[in-house]
Amino acid sequence: MHERVNSTVISAARRPAGLFFRLFRARAVRTLALTAAAFAGGAVTSSLARARSERQSPYAMMDQLARVLVWIENEYVDPVDRAKLIEGSIKGMVAELDPHSSYMAPEDYGVFQGDTEGHFGGIGVEVDFSTDSVIVITPIEGSPAELAGVRSGDRIIAIDGQLVRDRSPADLVRTMRGTPGSRVLITVRRDGVDHLLYFTLVRRIVTVTSISSKLLAGKIAYVRVKTFQSGTHAELLAHLTNLRARAGGGFAGVVLDLRNNPGGLVNEASAVADEFLDGGVIYTTRRRGQVVDEVRADAEGVLRRGPAVVLVNEFSASAAELVAGALHDQRRASLVGAPTFGKGSVQTIIDLPGGAGLRLTTLRYYTPSGQAIQARGVTPDVLVGGAPGDYGIVREQNLDNHLPAVEGALTETPPPVLTPPSGAAAGKGPKTTEDVDHGVMRDVPADPRGGPDQALATAYAMVLKAAATPNGAARPARH
């Protein structure tokens, strides 16, 4: 499978197996020749020069690593696993780069591939993580969890008898997933039930859809993109075909919902943006001050006409920000909601021997007008909730060691605002209830106006008004 975060895959197997050793041997030969020449000419090398040469050598720290490894193996209080130590050093090296670069051991890489491809062995639940439980947002239709009776709002407190409290989300995901046909026991606490519930589930291949849609009153198409995974563009076209049929041949406008979308595959995101455009730039990428690529739309987008509004919030990140920025800068759609997360970097996924993987930040991407998304995000035309500095909201700029917006700029890491506004509950972001998932309605009504989702109500009203206006566009007045 050669489709990843930005469709760039470098396979270690394709590299010349002996390249490193040839380079190392060549350097050794050159060093030997220079040393011989120096002694032949009567040269004397000072200890200061040697020290400077060692500091400049890329192998000096490798020698240091070897020394530390020897000390640990020989003197640590308990026996150690050398492979585990070396793997830990690789993880630490990559983690020093930025929050989104990482070395993935084979097990972690398998989970990552399942996420981007949209199918994996598991129990089939969409979940949210808290400090002491895993909250079921919804069981996936037809999944082992749904068939066993797991419900939205259930709190998973233990998996295979092990409490989930204080365990990382990545660890919990690995525990719930597994080989199809294997069994897993989950312990659930359910509101209104005075005893714990136990479900023994048989894992199977679960396929996650990335698109949901609905035809709203006034023939307005509502399309939500939950993530950009393999096949998202094809899913979009299938949903649009269905919506057109239900609308009797066409619809009056579109609300594209990218809220809570963490990003995903950039090629899928650009294909979705392309459907809304009749040409022009979608985004550009840059590395080390140079433009690497400029991605342009063609003139055949199926949604290139008619009013459109894009919904975003503080959890819209990466590829979702790319789409929002493209449609905004090309004046194709207005943005409604909260300022986005601000992840404007692209990670290349590199296959490594033994089934491991490397996720390496290789590019920054920019909107068609040349605006950086990294650490800045995209600001909506109409702000509805989640304003900059909102209490408890963490964005890219709050992450330690994040990339600056522009290469060479000083990195400042402002902390999230810790003082709650009047009436706010500690630690609360967009609300989650049985009807609303982080501010986004689970079941969108035909007419969202007057409902709990204020951003959706605003976007719907804008599109509806524009659709009723000849040559109307769902854009607020610009000053």
Phi/psi region, residue 218 (left: phi>0; alpha: psi -120 to 50; beta: rest), is left
Rounded to whole angstroms, the Cα distance separating 238 from 242 reads 6
The residues with which 203 forms a beta bridge, in sequence order, are none
Catalytic residue among 318, 390, 437, 453: 318
Catalytic residue among 133, 210, 343, 381: 343
Residues 6+ apart with CB under 8 A from 400: 99, 413
- Selection from 247, 281, 180 nearest residue 446 by Cα: 247
- Based on the residue annotation, tell me whether 101 is a catalytic residue of this protein: no
Q: Within 13 Å of residue 249, how many CA atoms lie on the same side as its CB?
A: 0
Which residues, 6 or more positions from 457, have their beta carbon under 8 angstroms from its beta carbon? 448, 449, 450, 451
Q: Which residues pair with 122 in a beta bridge?
A: 204
Residue 91 annotated in active site: no
SS3 of residue 382 by DSSP: strand
Which position has the token pair 């890489």? Answer: 109
| Annotation says 270 is catalytic | no
Compute CA 76 distance to the chain's CA centroid, rounded to the nearest angstrom.
38
Place of tokens 């068939």: 147
Token digits of residue 115: 């996420």
Of 347, 418, 425, nearest in space to 102 by CA: 347
Among 98, 154, 274, 329, the active-site one is 329
Q: Report d(CA 212, CA 206) in Å as an integer.
A: 17
Neighbouring-strand partners of residue 383: 337
CA 59 → CA 63, 86, 331, distances in Å? Answer: 6, 16, 52
Which active-site residues does the annotation give?
318, 329, 343
